Structure 1
Amino acid sequence: MQNLSPPHGPIMEGFGDRFESPEDYILTCTADIWEGRGIAALDWHYADDLLVRTPAGIHRGNDAGKANTMATLTEFPDRQLLGEDVIWCEAPDGGFLSSHRILSTATHRGGAFGPATGRPVRFRTIADTFCKQNRVWDEWLIRDNAAIALQLGSTARNVAQALIDAGDHSPPLTPETDLPGPYTGQGNANSWGDRHCDLLRRLMAHDFAAIPGAYDRACHLSSPGGAESHGWPAIEEFWIGLRSALPDATFDIAHQIGRTDAACPPRSAIRWSLTGTHSGWGRFGAPTGAQIHVMGVSHVEFGPRGIRRDITLFDDIAVWTQILLQT
């Protein structure tokens, strides 16, 4: 199913002549701000009342965006942001919603993750952003913070405890703390996105027997903590471990995109959540009874024998923060 639109049609109205497509806009602006140090560009690139939701909480306004950008660049001054993919769909009232997957490389020079170690790190980020009239109006951002912690010789649990000990008791993002933003869409109607959503619903309904029929036997899985694995047993271990930790949690799909583009495999981007009680053994150790909200994003690429690539992100540190604050 093709869902391509003319690059200078209604989707890019108001973006000027500099950008050829949503992909070009996202990749160019990301490079300008982070690697080009054009932080002042956030004054026009971000809407004044922009909402940025991360698993750790919500930041509102342009000043918070600039402060967070500078803090990250201070801790990782040589960070390179390698755009792996931009999966997008049209927004209901103009513009588009993009799901941008980034692989970053950097050297740790000290900051939120502790004193400088000089160690090289590699981690992924996925940012869902609503863009219209040459500005970002709404954003959902997940960074694989556990991957950074592990490469610096720590764990997600230990970093979460250190942040709490340092006085960071800010509430994480939950359905109760979330705020409505200007983007009200839920994605596009596309058979590849529907296929991906159906699989996730089956997995969250404990139907793990669906894995061999949905995934290529040689599928490559990228999961939180910077983990890279291959094959059905690894995929089963990951999804069962997550669901086992929250066996009675409510699963929700917040947004879905399916796309078929020239020179690309069919692919899908799904933003989802699990909300419930940490009542089972699994990814997060012994049951604690804590109330947990997991915000995740999954990107998949389809091949002739099913899903051949699955990149799923959520923030283990944010989950451990919720557990430790309650226990």
Structure 2
Amino acid sequence: MADAARTKTEPVATIDPYRPHRAMPGDFGISIGEKGSTRRWLRVDQGARRQSMAGFDDTYVDIVDYILRVTHRIWEEKDIGQIYKTYRHNSKVVDDSGLQYGRDKIVADTVHTINAFPDVRLYADEVIWAGDDRAGFHTSHRTVIVGHNTGFSRWGPPTGRLVVVWAIANCVALENEIFAEHVIYNHVSLLRQLGLDVRALAREFGNRALADASGADPRFGEVERLLGQGTPSETPGPVAAHEDVEAFLRYAYHHIWNWRSLNVVDDVYAATLRFHGPGDREYYGRGAYKSFVLSLIATFPDLAFGVDDVYYMGNEQDGYLSSTRWSAVGTHRGFGSYGPPTGRQVRIWGISQHRIVGGRIVEEWLMFNEFEILQQLLRDADTRT
């Protein structure tokens, strides 16, 4: 769409210095909050298009509208065929257990889940977005999933129980098709709500994954958090959030997790921090958050943490909403909630969303592949020769 055709409602954008092709919306003009209730955003007539969306179906007026209504049609209206219209044939989806390749796998997984929870409802908590119809729209969709387990699933026979589980899905879409997705579910909470033994299932699924590994060598090398006897790498900073949100977050992650400088928590998090994490962890305040960080570092003493992607929306006056996708690797040599040390190396990956107000993080939603980590740690010893 030509610039002259853009409407006045399209948000003012700033350019991402790390990826010059991707713009960050400078306000919340296109957002969950602006959409209001389903009485508004489920109406057939959504009015005039609010931003340039070349190649997208005319029915969608902006990228948040696209994410909300595609999700609703697939999961609640059970129009699973929408996946063929809104996912590219060779879509790459990375979930808790790894890479799932191809649109047909997405269709099969969706059928499986709806069969297990036929009355499933997906409530959109937030959609953080960036980009445009030239470089692709990046969206981070936080969802609360509610449903009764009245059908068979990979977890076993139906339990009839109600589950309330949240998840975060980060997608990239262009010309009406999602072609890349990273999604994390709160699987540990799901299994507990179903009344299942999380550790027993983790061992079962871990053994199954090991058997399917086709002779893959389970040995590993050193975790490169440090080079030899050196120190963690330096990063620019500290940087104020209103000057550069991405640099602010990268500095915070690197110095808290890699430098183990927990005093930085006091600099970047509000005293009234609210934290929501995997396994239904709910913390209030900086002290509880520091204890959470310490618990993971104590469990994986060589934990090395890296930021894979960051985008955000907002401004200094109204605050910011951000999405950070990250990865970590560590060796289970410490004591913690995952049991006695196994000496096994695990890969951790997750997605975090932040609400930043007045230069401090006031709320954080963090989800990582906890059930898959348990599979790696609790599986039986590998006896292959």
Please, what TM-score do these two structures have when normalized by structure 2?
A: 0.74
Cα separation, 2, equivalents of 1:309 and 1:263:
17
| 1:55 paired to 2:96 | yes
Contact 1:192 1:267 in 2 (8 A): no
- Cα displacement string for residues 165-212 of structure 1 (whole angstroms, at most 9, x for unaligned residues): 66784569x9x9xxxxxxxxxxxx982232222211122121112222
1:84 corresponds to which of 125, 143, 164: 125
Which residue of the partner structure matches residue 145 of structure 2? 104
- SS of residue matched to 2:333: coil
Which residue of the partner structure matches residue 184 of structure 1? none
Cα separation, 2, equivalents of 1:159 and 1:99:
29
- SS of residue matched to 1:31: helix
Worse-matched range after superposition: 133-142 or 302-311:
302-311
Which residue of the partner structure matches residue 220 of structure 1? 274
- SS of residue matched to 2:250: helix
- Cα displacement string for residues 69-123 of structure 1 (whole angstroms, at most 9, x for unaligned residues): 0101111111111111111221695221111111111112242223222221111
Cα separation, 1, equivalents of 2:71 and 2:312:
23
Report deviation, 1:298: 0.6
Cα separation, 1, equivalents of 2:175 and 2:341:
47
- SS of residue matched to 1:236: helix
Alignment of 1:155-170 (within 5 A): 155-164=197-206, 169-170=211-212
| 1:154 paired to 2:196 | yes
Report deviation, 1:243: 2.1
Report deviation, 1:305: 6.6
Report deviation, 1:214: 1.8
Change (3 A) 1:141 1:264: farther
Which residue of the partner structure matches residue 86 of structure 2? 45
Q: Which has the higher contact order (CA 8 A, sep 6+)?
A: 1
Which residue of the partner structure matches residue 339 of structure 2? 285
Report deviation, 1:55: 2.2
Cα separation, 2, equivalents of 1:92 and 1:246:
41
Alignment of 1:62-73 (within 5 A): 62-73=103-114
Which residue of the partner structure matches residue 320 of structure 1? 374
Cα separation, 2, equivalents of 1:253 and 1:169:
32
1:146 is aligned with what amino acid?
V
Which residue of the partner structure matches residue 201 of structure 1? 254
| 1:142 paired to 2:193 | no
Report deviation, 1:284: 2.2
1:191 is aligned with what amino acid?
D
Change (3 A) 1:207 1:169: farther
Please, what TM-score do these two structures have when normalized by structure 1?
A: 0.86
2:328 corresponds to which of 274, 293, 315: 274
Report deviation, 1:131: 0.1
Worse-matched range after superposition: 57-66 or 87-96:
87-96
Change (3 A) 1:326 1:253: farther
Report deviation, 1:162: 3.2
How many percent of aligned residue pairs carry the same amino acid?
26
Cα separation, 1, equivalents of 2:380 and 2:174:
39
Which is greater in Rg? 2
Report deviation, 1:53: 0.8
**CA root-mean-square deviation:** 2.9
2:184 is aligned with what amino acid?
I
For structure 1, which runs of at least 5 residues remain unmatched after alignment? 177-188
For structure 2, which runs of at least 5 residues remain unmatched after alignment? 1-12, 15-23, 31-48, 221-241
1:228 is aligned with what amino acid?
E
Cα separation, 1, equivalents of 2:87 and 2:139:
15
Report deviation, 1:323: 1.6
Contact 2:262 2:290 in 1 (8 A): yes
Contact 2:51 2:62 in 1 (8 A): no
Cα separation, 2, equivalents of 1:76 and 1:262:
42
